Amino acid sequence: MRYATTTTAAERIATDCLIVTLFEKNRLDDTSSALDGITGGVIQAALRNGDITGKSGETLMLYQPHGLKARRLLLLGLGERKSFSPKALGEALASACRQLDQSGSRDAALLMPAALESVTDNYRAASEGVVRSEEALYRFEQCKSKKNPPKRPLKKLTLLARERRLLNAVKKGASHGEAVARGMNLARDLANLPGNICTPNYLAEQARKLARQSDKLKVTALTEKQMEKLGMGALLSVSRGSRQPARLIVMEYRGGKAGGRPVVLVGKGLTFDAGGISLKPAANMDEMKYDMCGGASVIGTLQACVDLELPINVVGIVPASENLPDGEANKPGDIVTSMAGLTIEILNTDAEGRLILCDALTYAERFKPAAVIDIATLTGACIVALGHHISGLLGNDDGLAEELLQAGEASNDRAWRLPMGEEYQKQLESNFADLANIGGKGAGTITAACFFSRFTEKYKWAHLDIAGTAWKSGKEKGATGRPVPLLTELLLQRCKLVP
């Protein structure tokens, strides 16, 4: 969808559909009251007659409203005034867009709610509105032979700022929101593709495609031979059990000062995780095509950097491989040597994410990072701990962790910090190697992060476990595009571009 912003008065905007918001059990604000007057009282009448009450996402379509240049007037509920926030606008607008996409309107204009008073709230509501609308209109039909697009899709949304002084904030919010949404859509597309199409080589090719759009982005993808030379024995032990060669995708975005230390994002790109010799049960195993969602979020976030031309250096690293059972696959008890020189006893071949990521984390050192954030669908235990709403966050630096928590809060893409410590580190002891790749019973998300901590001592590091948040199961099965909003927010904040 295309987005525009203006301060044109609501009654003078020519559009297929003017969207006016209202609260549950609350008086209309001055502008809405004025619009009600112009239309001969249709809004008040609808409220009085109980056709709309203002519940969040509730809508009432009115046709050919008198006195307006708009063809239709859509009343949109925002819920209760006291619980209103930019996030609430996003949710309600998503519901309106879904409805408009399936009906006659090709374009719409939203009168920003008067309850958004500050510049900050207008910025946030605009970005949240755009992100949630795009999210609602997303469809994945690449693999259907008969596509089924809406007959008259919604193609354009104009945001009407209430006042001149708010216009810039709305404009900025919409443009940031658009970049985030495009990043999420790319991450969702890559993730929704099946494992037989989205292979390590495919991911590398998609990353390369991005580089062709910008001089600031350079993409290379190391081959197994090159990784061999670097001594990436842990990563290569995983791909040895697969016919698809592993790739280490390296995306270097240079938007900041030459020589400025980059933020390095490392995303797990396991394009299919069958578990290896420690084979997973059959039920829902198809969802393990989503085990590359961390990598997809890195690629999506780098696209957002390109879109926004962010003045910062960012490096994306995506170790990409499959994990399958095979005569050459890792066996329980095998010992491999990582690029860092640490030997690892593989007690469970299904704990493969940490094997590919530890070598990628060592590789990250060469960029002299300001911070390293890894993103991985790493542990089922994280779903037990936090469910499907909030990502797990761990790391070795309180400042960086706090920054991520705050960025997650601001972008409505939350994370929650879990502890680490010596007690947990002990669980990784091995009788035969420097460390084991599993930590035994209990605290699976924490021991996985403890494993990484052995490879991240040289820089500030944080780890996001997105096992519960990267995709949805069941009837709504599909990738979510998380945590692209959180990561992009962090970068925007580092660039001081958020009002």
For residues 425 and 244, what is the distance between their CA atoms, to the nearest angstrom?
33
Task: Give the residue with the Cβ less far from ligand BES, 271 or 488.
Answer: 271
Query: Is 354 designated active site?
Result: yes
Indicate which single residue of 116, 317, 428, 467 sits in contact with ligand BES (rule: CB under 6 A): 467
Indicate which single residue of 16, 29, 273, 307 sits in contact with Zn ion (rule: CB under 5 A): 273
**Binding of ligand BES by 430 (CB under 6 A):** no
Decide: residue 243, CB within 10 A, 0-12 exposed, 13-18 middle, 19+ buried: exposed
Using the rule CB under 6 A, give the single segment among 148-156, 192-200, 250-258, 372-380 that binds ligand BES. Answer: 372-380
Residue ranges in 282-311 that form contacts with ligand BES under rule CB under 6 A: 291
Task: Give the residue with the Cβ less far from ligand BES, 131 or 246.
Answer: 246
Which H helix or E strand runs over 479?
strand 478-479
Indicate which single residue of 300, 353, 392, 483 sits in contact with ligand BES (rule: CB under 6 A): 353
Indicate which single residue of 36, 107, 134, 352 sits in contact with ligand BES (rule: CB under 6 A): 352
Contact residues for 33 (Cβ-Cβ < 8 A; gap 6+):
27
For residues 242 and 324, what is the distance between their CA atoms, to the nearest angstrom?
6
In angstroms, what is the minimal distance from the CB of 291 to Zn ion? 4
In the complex, residue closest to Mn ion by CB: 350
CB 232, CB 281: distance < 8 Å: no
Residue ranges in 81-140 that form contacts with Mn ion under rule CB under 5 A: none
352: helix, coil or strand?
coil
> From the candidates 162, 171, 354, 454, which is the catalytic residue?
354
> From the candidates 208, 280, 417, 472, which is the catalytic residue?
280
Contact residues for 357 (Cβ-Cβ < 8 A; gap 6+):
266, 268, 319, 374, 376, 452
Task: Give the residue with the Cβ less far from Mn ion, 338 or 437.
Answer: 437
Distances (CA, A) of 472 to 89, 171, 481: 23, 31, 11
Q: Nearest CA to 360 among 317, 327, 307?
A: 317
How many residues of this chain interact with ligand BES, rule: CB under 6 A? 15
Distances (CA, A) of 38 to 32, 34, 45, 146: 10, 6, 13, 46
**Binding of Mn ion by 16 (CB under 5 A):** no
Indicate which single residue of 353, 408, 439, 481 sits in contact with Zn ion (rule: CB under 5 A): 353
Residue ranges in 238-277 that form contacts with Mn ion under rule CB under 5 A: 273
In angstroms, what is the minimal distance from the CB of 387 to ligand BES? 12
Contact residues for 209 (Cβ-Cβ < 8 A; gap 6+):
none
Distances (CA, A) of 157 to 15, 205, 416: 9, 33, 34
CB 285, CB 380: distance < 8 Å: no
Task: Give the residue with the Cβ less far from Mn ion, 128 or 350.
Answer: 350
**Binding of ligand BES by 379 (CB under 6 A):** yes
Task: Give the residue with the Cβ less far from Mn ion, 121 or 273.
Answer: 273
Q: Pull the structure tokens for residue 406.
A: 């705050």
Residue ranges in 343-372 that form contacts with Mn ion under rule CB under 5 A: 350, 352
Q: Nearest CA to 186 among 320, 311, 313, 305?
A: 305
Query: Which ranges of 193-274 does DSSP label H, i.e. alpha helix?
Result: 200-211, 224-230, 233-239
**Binding of ligand BES by 273 (CB under 6 A):** yes
**Residue 444 touches which of Mn ion, Zn ion, ligand BES, none (CB < 5 to 8 A by kind)?**
ligand BES
Residues that bind Mn ion (CB under 5 A): 273, 350, 352
Active site residues: 280, 354
Residues that bind ligand BES (CB under 6 A): 273, 291, 348, 350-353, 377-381, 438, 444, 467
